[in-house]
Amino acid sequence: MALQYSAFGLSLSANRPIPGLAPVAETPEVDARILLGALPDTLSPDAPGATPGEVQYVSPDAAAGDLPTLTAWTVARGAYWRLRYADGTEFVVDRHGREVWATWPAPLTVEDTATYLLGPILGFVLRLRGVTCLHASAVSVGDRALVLVGPASAGKSTTAAALARAGCAVLSDDVVPLGEEGGAFVAQPTYPHLRLWPDSAAALYGSPEALPRLTPTWDKRYVDLTTGDHRFEPRPLPIGALYLLDDRCAEPSGTRFEPVTGHRALLALVANTYVNYLPGRDATGAELGRLHRLVERVPLRRVHPPADPARVPELCRALLDDFHARADSPARRAPERSHDDVQR
């Protein structure tokens, strides 16, 4: 019997448990079907059209053995996308983002496969369905979302975990699907855990061993948001403010904020859309229009954290103070003007 899940703003069904997700009650409507340990029959070696078509993407970075981290191509005359990672894990996604198949070689596990699924693969599914996602993490502050935007290694998950320890519920880690409801933008919840590298786990929890491994074959750790003092926010929440994590602040005074407005704000969000290296439905004009409306309605702030990672509690206090200053006013003030805007 299929299991059902709610994640990334989607109703999902799966043929076996997905690590990191908790099943929900069955509903008649399912947005996407996930089949773990299988490929579609139409892609068997002797099936017509199974031969890979034109390669659409080869990642510029390489893994062990000099294989590209990810190669993606279309198959079956464009009916499917096939994505192969350097470790041998493969996904097939139909072009409408309604079905996903996954296989993996030994000694990899379903937990390893879930790290891809609950990240770039479902991010790509959303992109195929015309949903824009930010490379970001999000926490709730009251009834609104504080969104931390930035590239890999910017500190999004670490900052979200620190905010969780300060009492915030977490909506999402690393990817924030955007919804637009009644003229307001909302952050969709993803899954109830945070992923942390060992050094971040040590800084926040005293030791990497204080947290369980994300998979048996990987040293990354995770925070279970359904246990202890942590909380997961399962509701979509309106976005109160966006924070672009930048270089650490060398000044002894600590955290520094700068407004980002106009075309600079738009370019910053375009650069931090999730899996933007892969095409998707309406991934150009419609997505630009969506992001333009977002920066018009929601303040974007560039934040320089303290140089000392041990001062992350100070960063959390500064973020929450700044968030309340932006989001607590009864009506949005006139857009802030950055120094660059004044110069123009």
Query: Are residues 274 and 146 part of one domain?
Result: yes
Domain boundary among 104, 128, 152: 128
Query: Are residues 192 and 96 part of one domain?
Result: no
CA 188, 271, 153, 165 dihedral sign is negative
Residues 243-270: tens digit of each pLDDT? 999 877 666 667 889 999 999 999 999 9
331 pLDDT above the threshold of 70: no
- pTM for the full predicted model: 0.90
Query: Are residues 96 and 168 part of one domain?
Result: no
Cis omega (within 30 of 0) for bond into 107:
yes
Domain boundary among 128, 163, 196: 128
Domain boundary among 128, 160, 178: 128
Query: Are residues 219 and 123 part of one domain?
Result: no
SS (H, E, C) the chain: CCEEEEECCEEEEECCCCCCCCCCCCCCCCCEEEEECCCCHHHCCCCCCCCCCCEEEECCCECHHHCECEEEEEECCCCEEEEEECCCCEEEEECCCCEEEEECCCCCCHHHHHHHHHHHHHHHHHHHCCCCEEEEEEEEECCEEEEEECCCCCCHHHHHHHHHHCCCEEEECCEEEEEEECCEEEECCCCCEEEECHHHHHHHHCCHHHCCEEECCEEEEEEECCCCCCCECCCCEEEEEEEEECCCECCCCCCEEEEECHHHHHHHHHHCECCCCCCCCCCCHHHHHHHHHHHHHCCEEEEECECCHHHHHHHHHHHHHHHHHHHCCCCCCCCCCCHHHHHC
> Best-predicted range by mean pLDDT among 99-103, 178-182, 328-332?
99-103
Region of 307 on the Ramachandran plot (φ > 0 left; ψ -120 to 50 alpha; else beta): alpha
Residue 202: band (very low, low, confident or very high) from pLDDT cuts 50, 70, 90: very high
Non-local CB neighbours of 88 within 8 Å, separated by 6+ positions: 104, 105, 108
Query: Are residues 284 and 150 part of one domain?
Result: yes
pLDDT of amino acid 119: 96
pLDDT of amino acid 251: 61
Could you tell me whether strands 55-58 and 169-172 are parallel, antiparallel, or unpaired per DSSP bridges?
Answer: unpaired
pLDDT of amino acid 343: 33
Query: Are residues 336 and 216 part of one domain?
Result: yes
Residue numbers of the domain that contains 101? 3-128
Half-sphere exposure of residue 33: CA atoms within 13 angstroms, side-chain side: 11
| CA separation for the pair 72, 55 (Å, rounded) | 6
Which burial class, exposed, middle or buried, applies to 17 when counting CB atoms under 10 A from its CB (0-12, 13-18, 19+)? middle
Query: Are residues 115 and 259 part of one domain?
Result: no
Which burial class, exposed, middle or buried, applies to 228 when counting CB atoms under 10 A from its CB (0-12, 13-18, 19+)? exposed
| CA separation for the pair 189, 226 (Å, rounded) | 14
Arithmetic mean of pLDDT, 221-243: 95
For residue 335, the domain's CATH number is 3.40.50.300
285 CA to centre of own chain: 22
Residues 271-296: tens digit of each pLDDT? 999 999 988 776 678 899 999 999 99
Query: Are residues 61 and 161 part of one domain?
Result: no
Query: Are residues 313 and 185 part of one domain?
Result: yes
Query: Are residues 77 and 197 part of one domain?
Result: no
Name the average pLDDT for the chain: 88
Tally the domains of the chain: 2
Query: Are residues 22 and 111 part of one domain?
Result: yes
Query: Are residues 223 and 108 part of one domain?
Result: no
| CA separation for the pair 19, 316 (Å, rounded) | 29
Arithmetic mean of pLDDT, 308-327: 89
Looking at per-residue confidence, does 77 or 19 come out higher? Answer: 19
What does residue 41 show for φ and ψ, rounded to 5 degrees? -60, -35
User: Which of 22, 43, 18, 193 is closest to 117 using CA atoms?
Assistant: 18
